Amino acid sequence: MSAPPAVSFGEAFRFWLKLGFISFGGPTGQIAIMHQELVERRRWISERRFLHALNYCMVLPGPEAQQLATYIGWLMHRARGGIVAGVLFVLPSLFMLVALSWIYVAFGSMPAVAGVLYGIKPAVTAIVVFAAWRIGSRALRSAPLWAIAAAAFLAIFALDVPFPAIVIGAGVLGYLGSRIAPDKFRQGGGHGGAAKGYGPAIIDDGTPTPEHARFTWGRFARVLAIGLGIWGLAMGALVAHGGWESALAQMAWFFTKAALLTFGGAYAVLPYVYQGAVEHYGWLTGLQMIDGLALGETTPGPLIMVVAFVGFVGGWTKALFGPDALFVAGAAAATVVTFFTFLPSFVFILLGGPLVETTHGELRFTAPLTAITAAVVGVILNLALFFAWHVLWPAGAGGRFDWISALIGIAAGVALFRFRAGIIPVILASGAVGLALRLAGATAA
């Protein structure tokens, strides 16, 4: 069997566009889709090279599936290929979330829409618990890692410690632990090695590294300068338009920081986004944050795209361009937030890719990263408790317990844990139940 013919940029463009519309299922499902299409079916890249790129993306902050698409696009068609692959991975989701966010803020009080959201909220709580269990079952492999997870939970739940401080503290503990008890902080490879061959690939195990993917300090400096320059120009334009204290400039700065802290996926950074967007800036409420996560779960692309919802609601609420241009304000804020959230991911790939391509051996996860992943479990559990509190006691501690929401949440949890149901079917079913109950008058208005 011979390798497939070289792939043109146009053919690759069409595939990345298609991927942007079908990339449901979170990072696991998105990576599985890319493996099936690029490794098994099209044979654009060998499994070993695919896993090599994935291992690098796993140690980076940011959405690993989107970064993997960027990496493969860059490896095949230079920087333009990586940029196209990464942009098309998130662009359909941005358009969909802008539309859904508009429907939410403009028509969310309508009985039908309110009913669907009523059913989805407890399902989202179950989904976050499931995410904590799924990550914890892989990450907490020793007593010290369990202790770090517990400490992270107490730090954010009882002491309101900022998420960046928890990440830094966990990293320091991991570094110290690797010196004292290295076996306790050694993370097993979650993706394994190449299980079987699918025939020769365009980028095969023995394919020489293309010239554009070879590391040079000159190329490294140019990429870094361009990345920082783009960020600086965009930030400067926002500051020049409205000043440093303007909502758009503050969104850009806040989500730049968030982009550098997304170790462990979107669920891990959501508490940090909540602390900033809800508690500090007041761009949206806690209940709106839950609704946004529900909408993010139902669209393709990375779950971190929920930040587009945060931006839209913030832009709409703050009426950035006046009361007659609310949609424009929301769409502009969603676009700004998305740009500054994903820009670092492109820089990481274009900057570090040539270093990764200097060897095709599997990358090792460092002990600090292992400890950070353990801390993420505790942070996500805190997020689940926050959601449960607001869903089950919607009027606060002195209000009634919403037993209908509790039953929907339990049913969603059983579907996820016991029957391994997909996230989207669980959300759709819960939304349908909520709609039926609201129309039947079984829930509070």
pLDDT, position 191: 41
pLDDT, position 72: 96
| Distance from C-alpha of 144 to C-alpha of 152, rounded to nearest angstrom | 12
pLDDT in tens, the chain (445 residues): 688 899 999 999 999 999 988 776 566 668 878 888 898 889 999 887 887 787 678 777 888 889 999 999 999 999 999 999 999 999 999 999 999 999 999 887 677 877 887 888 898 888 878 878 877 887 788 999 999 999 999 998 888 887 778 888 998 998 898 888 888 886 544 444 444 567 889 999 888 888 999 999 999 999 999 999 999 999 999 999 999 999 999 999 999 998 887 666 666 677 788 889 998 999 999 889 888 887 887 777 887 888 999 999 999 999 999 999 999 999 999 999 999 999 999 999 999 999 878 755 433 445 777 787 788 788 878 878 887 888 898 877 778 899 999 999 999 999 989 998 877 788 889 989 999 998 887 665 4
Six-digit token string for 195:
């299980």
Residue showing tokens 């009523």: 118
Six-digit token string for 95:
């358009």
- Cα angle 225-229-234, degrees, rounded to a multiple of 5: 160
**How many helices (H) does the chain have, and how many strands (E)?**
16, 0
pLDDT, position 26: 63
| Distance from C-alpha of 59 to C-alpha of 107, rounded to nearest angstrom | 41
Sign of CA dihedral 336, 339, 341, 344: negative
CB 264 within 8 A of CB 274: no
pLDDT, position 376: 78
| Distance from C-alpha of 426 to C-alpha of 418, rounded to nearest angstrom | 13
Find all residues with CB under 8 Å of 339, minimum gap 6, and list them.
Answer: 234, 252
**Of 345, 275, 278, nearest in space to 305 by CA:** 345
CB 111 within 8 A of CB 438: yes
pLDDT, position 356: 79
Q: Is 296 helix (H, G, I), strand (E, B) or coil?
A: helix
**Gap between the terminal Cα atoms of the chain:** 64
Query: DSSP letters of 154-197?
Result: HHHHTS---HHHHHHHHHHHHHHHHHH-GGGGPPPPSS-S----
CB 11 within 8 A of CB 42: no
Q: Which helix (H) or strand (E) holds 135?
A: helix 111-139
CB 32 within 8 A of CB 42: no
**pTM value?**
0.74
